[in-house]
Chain A
Amino acid sequence: MSELEVETRELDDVVLLYPRGFINAHTVRTFEGEIQKAVDKRRFKIVVNCSRLAYIASAGLGAIMGAIEEVRGNGGDIRLSELNETVANIFEILGFNHLYRIFPSEVEAVLSFRDTERSGAP
């Protein structure tokens, strides 16, 4: 069994990533690679649906941080949804909940990009 699988879907101009399993120093390249694929295709609106993400170590958080400047610099964002208690707690410990927008559901995360477009805010 693979420790991490990342499915990808596209919904209009939003890329949805579905990591399933564990993101640590061993598996982070897979996760990083999927973020990079979206960036390479100039798809800068990214939602990471964490409903099947059991665990994330600092390597995974580093992967998000490593891409965020380019993504935001191009008018996009990396937003997260459906964090389980363990993952949400790790985000809180590091203060990532203040740096990234986190939504209870995938729909809300996707719609937040529409709201951004409507208001013209970055």
Chain B
Amino acid sequence: MSASASGGDEVRGRRPAARSRERSRPSLVLVIPSQTDFLALVRDVTKKMAETAGFDGGDADRVALAVDEATTNVLEHAYEGATDRTVELRFEDRGPALSVDVVDSGAQVDPRAVPRVDLERYVSERRTGGLGVHLMEKIMDSVTFRRSARRNVCCLVKRKAAPGGG
């Protein structure tokens, strides 16, 4: 599963097509039905992938939470609760970072429409939405959204600590 963890750049001399394939090959692709029953599986697989990529237990737990939140967002917003669709998760150990793409074919969701979180206002206004994106952004080094081939792609990236850098 972690075959691409190292040596990914050592492809000089290969044909461009081969290099392109190697670079774009995810370490693992998981496709789940659009049902919340599968969130536990998403969490477990993500945690294992993060640990395999070299993250310690605490960081692996947090990455798993971020991916759980991204998947939950898809189920609730892009698919609006429809249970007959699929969500694709692509895990890739890029060496210095772990990247997870959460891909759906649901309605286009504009992440800029998600209000920024103001916790005091949340309490006073009894609002409960938007926490997931806030958590994702706090946990990951990068959270980006794009629309590609009529699919939504949420890309979550977590950098590994520099060697010897605690």
Contacts and interface: CB of A to CB of B under 8 A. Distances in A.
Interface of A: 3, 22, 24-26, 55, 57-59, 61-63, 65-66, 68-69, 85-86, 89-90, 93-96, 98-99
Interface string B46-76: 0000000000001001100100110010011
Given A25-B39, A26-B39, A93-B135, A57 B72 contact: yes
A99 to B, nearest CB: 6
Contacts of B68: 24, 57
B129 interface: yes
Nearest to B76: A25
B127 interface: yes
Contacts, number: 77
Contacts of A63: 128
A25 B65 CA distance: 12
B75 A25 contact: yes
A69 to B, nearest CB: 5
B131 A61 contact: yes
B36 interface: yes
A69 B123 contact: yes
B79 to A, nearest CB: 12
Contacts of A89: 58, 61-62
**Dominant secondary structure at the B interface:** helix
Given A57-B65, A61-B131, A94-B135, A25 B126 contact: no
B33 to A, nearest CB: 12
A66 B65 contact: no
Nearest to A98: B119
A96 B58 contact: no
B40 A24 contact: yes
Given A65-B126, A86-B58, 7 more contacts: A57-B132, A58-B132, A59-B72, A62-B129, A65-B127, A94-B135, A95-B119
A58 B131 contact: yes
Contacts of B139: 93
B138 interface: yes
Contacts of B90: none
A96 B36 CA distance: 25
21 contacts: A24-B39, A24-B72, A26-B40, A57-B65, A57-B68, A57-B69, A57-B72, A58-B72, A58-B131, A62-B131, A63-B128, A65-B123, A65-B126, A65-B127, A68-B123, A89-B58, A94-B135, A95-B119, A96-B119, A99-B120, A99-B123
B122 A65 contact: yes
Contacts of B124: 69
